Amino acid sequence: MFSLRRVLDVIIRTPNYCWQKNIDPTIKRFGKMNTVFVYGTLKKGQPNHRYMIDGTKGKGLYCGMGHTHQKYPLVIAGKFNIPFLLHLPGKGHEIAGEIYLIDNQLLQFLDEFESCPELYQRRPVGVHVVEWQDQANTLEVKPDVDGMMECFLYNTTSYEQDWLKLPYYNNYDPFGNHGQPKYVLREAR
């Protein structure tokens, strides 16, 4: 006779088992999931996007697009032309980006990748969702009735005062024309 605990253990270890339909089966087996809003080199088609989806640093699932509820200054600065979202709520633009559901392992990697808390700080912010990829309502998170949700976002209080004089952007594309040299990949620094 099998105990309930043994049956559940077998089900959870089954490679294709998923708690909810239509979700990558590996996503639901990693405990608490977090929502994160990315606006720079981690977005689709950008140089560091692989970290969000390849599974080597943790599990991540693209959920949709949105923009910050509050305005922030997004500048391109430093000798490597890095996007910096300055922690000055109310100044700048609503920032466009992507929403991901990630596990704690990927969240920890992103903290290290973003040099958190020394360079960037991770904060919960309100995000207005403009596109959501969960039409079947299978994800454990979703926007509220007003299309809002809370996501982690990396921004910084560590910046040079001259950066406040740089142009503010609402969207970042390292391959775009920002009137300055292109983003320098980490591997090339």
Instruction: Just list the catalytic residues.
Output: 114
Task: Provide the b/e sequence for 111-140 (b: ≥16 CB within 10 Å).
Answer: bebbebeeebbbeebbbebeebebeeeebe
- Asked if 169 and 75 touch (Cβ cutoff 8 Å), the reply is yes
- Asked if 87 and 135 touch (Cβ cutoff 8 Å), the reply is no
Between strands 74-77 and 82-85, the pairing is antiparallel
Which residue blocks in 74-165 are alpha helix, DSSP H?
104-113
End-to-end CA, the chain: 61
